[in-house]
């Protein structure tokens, strides 16, 4: 069984976290987590991340109302990426699009 001790954080104490729609499998967004954010996500079952620009925790939807209800949390085989399966309320992207990748295909 995978535990929190299996997470391999980078030199800044962060690990990338991919939020994926639990029903459709769509990749919604990528954000960063420190140990505190990951523990908060597991405890509250709401997507909680580390803001590199503001240097503080943030919970998805705390200002927008576009909450992520976390169904499961997995760690990849190297322990250096977290995958959250979520039920997303409203758009996942702060720009108002369904995902952070919507309409941003590189041509």
- Asked whether the beta carbons of 82 and 68 are under 8 A apart, the reply is no
Helix (H) or strand (E) holding 86: strand 82-88
Q: Which residues participate in the annotated binding site for Zn(2+)?
A: 77, 93, 100
Q: Which residues participate in the annotated binding site?
A: 76-78, 80, 93, 100
Q: Which residues participate in the annotated binding site for Mg(2+)?
A: 76, 78, 80
Token digits for 88? 């997303």
Token digits for 90? 């409203």
């Amino acid at each position: 069984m995978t535990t929190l001790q299996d997470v391999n954080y980078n030199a800044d104490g962060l690990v990338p976290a991919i939020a994926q729609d639990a029903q459709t499998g769509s990749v919604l967004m990528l954000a960063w987590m420190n140990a505190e954010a990951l523990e908060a996500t597991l405890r509250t079952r709401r997507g909680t991340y580390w803001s590199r620009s503001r240097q503080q925790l943030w919970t998805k939807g705390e200002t927008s109302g576009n909450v992520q209800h976390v169904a499961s949390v997995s760690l990849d085989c190297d322990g250096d990426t977290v995958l959250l399966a979520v039920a997303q309320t409203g758009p996942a992207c702060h720009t108002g699009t369904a995902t952070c990748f919507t309409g941003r295909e590189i041509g």
